[in-house]
Amino acid sequence: MSPEKTLEAPDPAATPTHEHTRTGMSKDALNRAFIDNLFYVQGRFREVASPNDLYMAAAYTVRDRLLGRWIKCAETYRDSKARTVCYFSAEFLLGPHLLNNLVNLGITDVAGEAGAELGLDLHELIETEEEPGLGNGGLGRLAACYMDSLSTVQIPAIGYGIRYEFGIFDQVIEDGWQVEKSDTWLKNGNPWEILRHGLRFPVKFGGRTEQYHDEHGTLRVRWLADMEVIGVGYDTPILGYGVGNVSLLRLWKSEACESFDFQSFNVGDYYGAVQAKIEAETISKVLYPNDEPSAGKELRLKQQYFFVSCSLQDMIRLQLHTVGPLDGLADKFVAQLNDTHPAIAIAELMRLLMDEHGMGWDQAWGITHKTFCYTNHTLLPEALETWSVRLFEKLLPRHLEIIYEINRRFLDEVRVRFLNDEGRVARMSLIGEEGGRRVRMANLAVVGSSAVNGVAQLHSELVKTTILKDFYDLWPERFHNVTNGVTPRRFIAVCNPRLAALITETCGDDRWLTDLNCLRELENYADDADFQGRWRAVKTAAKRNLARWLTKHAWVTVDPESLFDVQAKRLHEYKRQHLNLLHIVSLYQRLKQDPNLPMVPRTFIFGAKAAPGYHLAKLIIKLINAVADVINHDPQVNDSLRVAFMPNFNVQNGQRLYPAADISEQISLAGKEASGTGNMKFSMNGALTIGTLDGANVEIREEVGEDNFFLFGMTAEEVSRRQAEGYRPWDICRDDHELKSVLDLITSGLFSHGDTTLFRPLIDNLIHQDPFMVLADYRAYLDCQERVSRAWADRPRWERMSILNVARMGKFSSDRAIREYAEKIWKVKPLPVSL
C-alpha cells in the first residue's frame, strides 16, 4: 500500500490507531501518549525511567485529555452571560489527582489495560503521587469536594486560593510521639498545574494613606504602601464526572516585585534586595496549621489579604475584558467566603472599586454586599477570628479606614433599629474592645455579605441563637443552612472500587454516581442473604487491604475478621479521641480482670494529626500509641483487642480507611462539631456510626433511621444546661468505680514504663476541668459500645444495617449541597457543556 493511499483512505477497522495521541481514549492512543510524554516531557526512555518519571508521563497523558475539555468549557463559559461562582478559600485539600481524574474521565479500566501492555502497574503509578495537602482538615476538604461538584453539576466556577509551597506537615510517629516533617509536595514537579506567566497582580502592604482631589475635584484616598509583592496564578483543571464541564482552580504564588529589586540594587543595597525577595516569597511558603495561637500571626493576615486581593483583581480583569462595565460585577460573579479567612475581601473590593476604579461609597457598597456570601464553620469561641487593630494599621491601613467607615454606617443602622441598646451595639461592632481593640472578622463577614450559612441543621440553628444571634435579630432573612456533603466519586468510586462495582451491578447502571439518591435501590436487597454475603465480602477485602498497609506502615498486625472500629479526623479535645481511649482501657482492664470474659474481637484504629503547638493533643497521640504498645504486646488480651495508629492521616490514607471501617466514631461533645464530613464518608462505605447528636450526625441518623445508628450522650441543650449548673467532673469520677480505676491505671505508669507524671496533665485536665465533658458521657458511651458488640454478633442484622446506611446516604452528596447553594444562595443555574 502506498503512503498516498493510506492518507486518502484510512482503514476503518484500524480507527483506534488514528485517534489523536493527546485526546484519544483508546488503549492504543493512551499508550502512544504515555511513551510520547515520557520521551518529550520527561526526556526519558523506559529502561532508565524512575517511578516518578513513569508517574509524570501517566499524569501528563491524563492531563492532555482534560485540557481539550477545559478549553471548550472555558469558551462556553466566556461566551455566556451566566453568573460564575468564585469560591474563596485559604485551603483546598485536594488529595491525589491521577485516579480521580481517570474515574471522572471514565477511563480507569482502559488505562489499566494500557499500562499492563507496557508492563506497568497502574496501581503503583497511582501510589507514587504526592498529594497536594493544601488544607488542615474538614474545611479544606469541603472546598475540594465542592469544586468537584461544581463541575459535575455544571455550574461555572473558579476556586481561588493559595499555592502553598509546603502544605500540611507530614506526620511520623517516633517513640509514640507525633513528629512533624515538612511537606515537600512540589519537589518532583506538579503535572496538574499550569503556570500563567501573564497573570500577575501587584499586592501592597504597609505604609500610609493620604487624601487628594482627582481631576473632577472629588476627594479621594490613595494608599502609599511601603511593600509590594506580585501574585502569580497557577491553574489546575477540576473535571466533573461524565460531563464536559471543567472548573478552574486558580492558586496564587507570591513573588518579589522586580522594580523593588532593582531599586535596592541600584543604590547598591544588594542584601536589602535579596531580603525583600525572601520576604515576598515567604507569603505563600507554608500553610498555617490550625490551633496555633492567633496572636502575632502577621504572616497569616498577609496570606489572607494576598490571595483575596489577587483574586478580586482577577475577577475585575475578567469583568472588564469579557463582560462589560464594573457596575455589573455582582451580576457576573458571586464570591463565597469559606469561613472568615478571606473576609478581608469585603474591604478590599470596596478599596478597589473606590480608590482604583473611582466609584462612590454607595455604589461600591451595593456591589460588594451583593457579591459576597459567608459560610461559618465553627461555634468554638476561640476559633472565631479577630485581628488586632494595631496589626491592621501596620499592614493594611487603608482597609482599616474602610472597616471603620463600614462600622460607623452599620452601627447607625443598629441604633435606629434597637433604640437605647448600647450593649447590643458593642456586641455587634466590627471592633471588639475586650483585651485590646480587635477587628472581628465574623462580624465583618456578616455585615458585608448578602447570605450567611451554617454547615448542618443543628449548627445553623446554633449560629442563629448563639454567636450571631444579634445579627439574626437584625437580618433574619440573611441566614440559611446548607448541610455539608462529600463527593461520591472520590469517596466511593475512587476509594472503594469493589463497592462501586457491586452498587452499579445492583442498581443496573452507574447513575448513582451523579444522583446518589439512586442508592435507595439497595434497600430492596438489605435482607437478601446472597447479597449480604457479597456485601460482607467487599468489606472484608477492604479490611484485608488496610491490614496489609498497617503491617507495612504502622508495624501492627490486625485480624480482618475482627470488628474495625475507626476514628479518623484532626486531633482535638472537642472531638474526644480520649473518650474512645477510655473505652479501650476499660475493655483492657475488664479482660485483665477476667481473661475468659466473652468479648467481640475488636481492632481500634486511629488516624489524627495534632497542631504542632497543641500540647494536650500531642499527649493524646502519645497515649494512644502507649496503650497500643501495651495491649498489642499482651498475649492475654491481644486475641480480642488490638490498637493501631495510622501515621499521617491525609486524603490518600483516609481513602484506605473509609472502605475498611465497620464502626465510625463520631463522638464529639454535642454542639461543638459544626458538621463533620468524615461521618458521611464512613457511612457511605458501609460503616455504622456510633455518635452523639452533633453536627450532621443528627441528619445522618434521621436519614438512615434510628435503628441503624448507635446514639449516645448528652444533647447540645443538656450540655448547656449542665455547664450552666456548674459541671463537676470529679463527682462523676468519684461515683463511677470503673472510670476511676481506668484513670488511675493511666496515671499508674503502666502505659509509660513506670513514669507516673507523663499523662498527668491529661488526667488532671479531665478530673478538674474536662472542658468537653468526656467523663459526663463516659458511661453512656460504654453502654452504647456494648450495644455495638451485640449487634456485631448478629451478622445478618449487622449487614442489613450496613446496607441501609449506604442506601440512605443520598442526601450527603456534595452535588446536593452545591445545588442548594446554587438555588438558595448564589442564584445561579447550570450551564451544561457537552462532551
Q: What's the one-letter identity of residue 1?
A: M
Q: Which of 675, 805, 813, 814 binds ligand F58 (CB under 6 A)?
A: 675
Q: Which stretch binds ligand F58 (CB under 6 A): 108-116, 138-146, 553-561, 697-705?
A: 138-146
- Asked if 136 interacts with ligand F58 (CB under 6 A), we say yes
**Should residue 460 be labelled a site residue for ligand F58 when binding is judged by CB under 6 A?**
no
Alpha-helix residue ranges (DSSP H) falling in 153-269: 258-266
**Helix boundaries (H) for 133-232:** 138-152
| Catalytic choice (490, 576, 681, 816) | 681
Closest distance to ligand F58 from the beta carbon of 47 (Å): 45
Measured CA to CA, the distance from residue 424 to residue 428 in angstroms comes to 6
Which CB atom, from 609 or from 656, has the smaller least distance to ligand F58?
Answer: 609
Applying CB under 6 A, the span of 126-134, 587-595, 671-679, 827-835 interacting with ligand F58 comes to 671-679
What are the contacts of 778-784 at 24+ separation with CB within 8 A? Answer: 778/579, 778/582, 778/732, 778/736, 778/739, 779/736, 779/739, 780/712, 780/713, 780/714, 781/579, 781/583, 781/667, 781/690, 781/712, 781/713, 782/583, 782/586, 782/738, 783/712, 784/690, 784/710, 784/711, 784/712
Q: Is 407 helix (H, G, I), strand (E, B) or coil?
A: helix
Query: Smaller CB distance to ligand F58: residue 581 or 696?
Result: 696
Give a three-class secondary structure readout of 428-453.
HCCEECCCCCEEEHHHHHHHCCCEEE
CB 388 within 8 A of CB 362: no
Which residue in the block uniquely carries the three cell numbers 439512586? 518
Q: Are strands 431-432 and 438-440 parallel, antiparallel or unpaired?
A: antiparallel
Q: Position of cell 500540647?
A: 615
Q: 142 vs 251, which CB is nearer to ligand F58?
A: 142
Look up 681 and say whether it is catalytic.
yes
Q: Which of 93, 105, 142, 232 binds ligand F58 (CB under 6 A)?
A: 142
Active-site residue (options: 575, 602, 609, 642) = 575
d(CA 763, CA 704): 36
In 3D, which of 604, 636, 596, 624 has the Cα closest to residue 762?
A: 624
Q: Which of 132, 488, 676, 691 binds ligand F58 (CB under 6 A)?
A: 676
Which residues are CB-neighbours of 742 under 8 A, at least 6 positions away? Answer: 582, 585, 586, 589
Angle between helices 98-105 and 108-117 (to 10 degrees): 120
Examine the residue annotation and report whether 575 is marked as an active-site residue of this protein. Answer: yes
Q: At what angle do helices 108-117 and 27-40 cross, to 10 degrees?
A: 60
Closest CB 333 distance from ligand F58, rounded Å: 23
Q: Name the residue with the smallest CB distance to ligand F58.
A: 138
> Using CB under 6 A, which residues numbered 361 to 390 contact ligand F58?
377-378, 383
Measured from the CB of residue 692, what is the shortest distance to ligand F58 in angstroms? 13
338, HSE (Cβ side, Cα atoms, 13 Å): 27
Question: Which of 122, 455 has the CB closer to ligand F58?
Answer: 455
539 is an active site residue:
no
**CB-nearer residue toward ligand F58: 27 or 681:** 681
Interaction between residue 674 and ligand F58 (CB under 6 A)? yes
CB of 31 to ligand F58, least distance (A): 41
The contacts of residue 445 (CB under 8 Å, 6+ apart) are 337, 340, 343, 346, 372, 374, 452
For the record, the C-alpha cell of 386 comes out as 479577630
The only residue of 131, 165, 573, 673 in contact with ligand F58, by rule CB under 6 A: 673
- DSSP conformation class of 229: E
Q: Which is catalytic among the residues 368, 506, 677, 747?
A: 677
CA distance 59 to 573: 40
Stretch that binds ligand F58, among 120-128, 134-142, 550-558, 736-744 (CB under 6 A): 134-142
Contacts of 457 (CB under 8 A, 6+ apart): 481, 483, 698, 699
Segment near ligand F58 (CB under 6 A); pick from 132-140, 521-529, 764-772, 822-830:
132-140
Nearer to ligand F58, 90 or 803 (CB): 90
Q: Which of 567, 547, 565 is nearest to 557 (CA)?
A: 547
Cell of 251: 492558586
Helix/strand/coil percent split, the chain, to 5: 55, 15, 30
Q: Minimum distance between the CB of residue 389 and ligand F58, rounded to whole angstroms?
A: 21
Q: How far is the CB of 664 from ligand F58 (least distance, A)?
A: 14
Q: Which is nearer to ligand F58, 675 or 747 (CB)?
A: 675
Of the two residues 289 and 647, which places its CB atom closer to ligand F58 in the complex?
A: 289
Give the residue with the Cβ less far from ligand F58, 625 or 692: 692
Given 377, 464, 478, 656, the catalytic residue? 377
Which CB sits closer to ligand F58, 154 or 679?
679
Using a 10 angstrom Cβ sphere, with 0-12 exposed, 13-18 middle and 19 or more buried, the burial of residue 577 is: buried
In the complex, minimum distance from the CB of residue 344 to ligand F58, in angstroms, rounded to a whole number: 15
List the one residue from 73, 125, 126, 139 that touches ligand F58 (CB under 6 A): 139
Q: Are 454 and 463 in contact, with CB atoms under 8 Å apart?
A: yes
Q: How many residues bind ligand F58 (CB under 6 A)?
A: 17
In this chain, which stretch among 137-145, 445-453, 537-545, 722-730 interacts with ligand F58, using CB under 6 A?
137-145
CB of 142 to ligand F58, least distance (A): 4
Tell me how far apart the alpha carbons of residues 26 and 615 are, in angstroms, rounded to a whole number: 53
Rounded to whole angstroms, how far apart are CA atoms 164 and 649? 19
Q: How many other C-beta atoms lie within 10 A of the C-beta of residue 783? A: 10
Q: How far is the CB of 678 from ligand F58 (least distance, A)?
A: 8
- What are residue 86's DSSP bridge partners? 158, 335
Identify residues 396-455 at the interface with ligand F58 (CB under 6 A): 455
How far is it, in rounded angstroms, from Cα 400 to Cα 431?
10
Is 768 assigned a catalytic role? no
Q: How many residues does the chain have?
A: 835
Residue 671: CB minimum distance to ligand F58, A:
11
CA distance 828 to 835: 22
Which DSSP string corresponds to 627-652?
A: HHHHHHT-TTTTTTEEEEEESS--HH
Q: Which of 677, 708, 802, 805 binds ligand F58 (CB under 6 A)?
A: 677
Considering the complex, state which of residue 335 and residue 402 has its C-beta at the smaller distance from ligand F58.
Answer: 335
User: What's the rounded Cα separation, in Å, for the pair 646 and 50?
Assistant: 28
Q: Which of 249, 135, 193, 279 is nearest to 609 (CA)?
A: 135
Binding mask 20-39 for ligand F58 (x = CB under 6 A): --------------------
CB 402, min distance to ligand F58, A:
24
To 5 degrees, how large is the angle CA 706–CA 538–CA 805? 15
Stretch that binds ligand F58, among 412-420, 669-677, 684-692, 718-726 (CB under 6 A): 669-677
Q: Which of 115, 137, 159, 233 contacts ligand F58 by CB under 6 A?
A: 137
Of 31, 84, 254, 290, the one binding ligand F58 (CB under 6 A) is 290
Residue 348 lies near ligand F58 (rule: CB under 6 A): no
* Segment interacting with ligand F58, rule: CB under 6 A, options 124-132, 393-401, 402-410, 674-682: 674-682
Min dist CB 676 to ligand F58, Å, is 5
Residue with grid cell 454567636, as numbered in its chain: 467
Active-site residue identified among 570, 583, 609, 656:
570
Q: Which is nearer to ligand F58, 440 or 602 (CB)?
A: 440
Stretch that binds ligand F58, among 28-36, 420-428, 506-514, 672-680 (CB under 6 A): 672-680
**Selected binder of ligand F58 within 171, 484, 567, 692 (CB under 6 A):** 484
Q: Closest distance between ligand F58 and the C-beta of residue 91, in Å? A: 6
* Cβ nearer to ligand F58, comparing 138 with 237: 138
Would you tell me which residues interact with ligand F58 (CB under 6 A)?
136-139, 142, 290, 377-378, 383, 455, 484, 673-677, 695
Active site residues: 377, 569-570, 575, 677, 681
